[in-house]
Amino acid sequence: MALNAVFLIAQSPVPAPTYLALSGTAIGSLSSAETAMSGSTINEYPTASGYARQNLNPTAATAASPSRSWNTPVITFGPFTSAPGTCFWGIACDVASGGAAHPIASYILGTARTPAIGDSLQCNAGTGAAGVGFICQV
């Protein structure tokens, strides 16, 4: 139930969409105290690069222990119109755009990615798993 509430699927607050953002913050430098996507350690990819947050569409949390939830669609960012830098994190948040969005969870990428102009980054269905430890592999 906690994962369902955190990812705005059920419980309180009212169910709502959640979005996946990309961050160029180096491993070890992302602060868990950030309360807005405009936070100084989040370093979200710039929209001028052709980047936009994507709908995370997480599953309902499993009843198993530990309970888990993951993305159901394939999530694609890009193609990029300018090189946005190296991506280390996926960050779930509650609004499709803007710095006032609230971060919900961070997912460290299995391998950092540095897309070039024309490239896209893709997260396959079921690879952004949230549970006791959050991970995202693209």
Domain ranges of the chain: 17-138
Name the nearest CA neighbour of 93 among 65, 126, 54, 132: 54
Average pLDDT value for residue range 128-136: 45
pLDDT at 26 over 90: yes
pLDDT, averaged across the chain: 85
What band does 132 get if pLDDT is binned at 50, 70 and 90? very low
pLDDT at 65 over 90: no
And the tokens for 29?
């430098």
Q: Please tell me which residue, 12 or 101, carries the higher pLDDT value.
A: 101
Cα dihedral 58/102/21/132 (nearest 10):
-50
Percent of the chain with pLDDT over 70: 88
Give dist(CA 106, CA 43) in Å, integer: 13
Give dist(CA 45, CA 25) in Å, integer: 10
Task: State if pTM tops 0.75.
Answer: yes
Residues in CB range of 110: below 8 A, 6 or more apart: 135, 136, 137, 138
And the tokens for 102?
């609230």
Amino acid at 116: A
